[in-house]
Amino acid sequence: MPTVISIVIPIYNEQECITELWKRIYALNNLPTQYRYEYIFVDDGSTDNSLEMLKGLANTHTEIKIISFSRNFGHDIAVVAGCDYATGDVIVLMDGDLQDPPELIPEMLRLYEQGYDVVYAKRRSRQGESFFKIKGAQLFYWFINRISSIKIPENTSNFRLMSRKVLDEMNRLKEQDPNIRTMVTWIGFRQKALEFDRKPRFAGKTKYSPIKMLKLASDGIVSITNKPLHFSTLFGAIFLLISIVCIVSAFVLKTDNQIYAIVCGVLSAMFFIGAIHLFAIGIFAEYISRIHNNTRGRPRYIISEKINI
């Protein structure tokens, strides 16, 4: 029996990429291997021609399976849906814009054969990405690795191979705001990095606005550690100390009567303390919104159509 590889690809308005993507992933069949491939495309509520193009391909290739969402649910949810329906012994997650080169998959499989349960692609370089994105990602990894007890590998995306063992564990994590890379790291087993140069998108535009990136970062942090919840206590203690020092010094140092300076000082102190309060409340809100999401018990996605499944 050949080993079945499920390739899971989320698609959101990628009509310019689909033909080239299919050409390059289908070319894997030309390599002399003992593998059989299954392709699971998750159409995350595309509003362009992506779904029709995928259906056209699925007509002639029954190994292409399509899950189509009722609306846009988000990148990681689309990956989760693909994983729910993957039947392979090995699962490969990759993006649909060819930033994740399919040609890396044989190398991932080679490492899998050596006994690794997760092979994650790690960007040696990243091209065609904005300054905000690159710096934002650096800051994210710096921060998360300072506060999390589990080390999250830097410069990774969802592009990775997982054994069936890891996938079965991942499918048990029923988070409403899933963050694939922190979840897979948390699961453990033998994990190995595989370096590659990340190219720009083949075509089209990024689907990640700065706001969506902040949500991704916040999902990553909140899903892996509770430490930010304690920040507010720490800040509270530090600011109590500062305010005591201020009061004491006001009595001890008898300064000239400079009303203007005092008003400014008081105002800035008020705003500063206010900001700290809002920041602390914000951290609580991040966790509480996820508790809220998880207690609602809603399904994570709604499928409008399944093809070849």
Angle between helices 210-224 and 180-187 (to 10 degrees): 20
157 binds Mg ion (CB under 5 A): no
> Could you say which of 7, 8, 11, 119 contacts ligand UDP (CB under 6 A)?
11
Contact yes or no for 143/157 (Cβ under 8 A): no
Q: C-beta of 247: minimal distance to Mg ion in Å?
A: 53
35, 208, 235, 239: which one contacts ligand UDP (CB under 6 A)?
Answer: 208
Partner whose footprint covers residue 277, from ligand UDP, Mg ion, none (CB < 5 to 8 Å by kind): none
Q: x/- binding map, residues 239-278, to ligand UDP, per CB under 6 A?
A: ----------------------------------------
Per CB under 6 A, contacts with ligand UDP among 85-114 are 95-97, 99
Of 263, 162, 167, 178, nearest to 220 by C-alpha is 178
Find, among 89, 87, 91, 68, the residue nearest to 78 by Cα. Answer: 68
Nearest residue (CB) to ligand UDP, 137 versus 280: 137
Q: Which is nearer to Mg ion, 188 or 210 (CB)?
A: 210
By CB under 6 A, is residue 185 in contact with ligand UDP?
no
Determine phi and psi for 167, rounding to 5 degrees: -65, -40
Give the residue carrying structure tokens 């996820």: 290
DSSP letter (8 states) at residue 104: G
Which residue stretch of 147-155, 201-209, 233-241, 286-294 sits at the interface with ligand UDP (rule: CB under 6 A)? 201-209
**Burial class of residue 143, CB neighbours in 10 A (0-12, 13-18, 19+):** middle
Kindly list the residues in this chain that would bind Mg ion in the complex (CB under 5 A).
97, 99
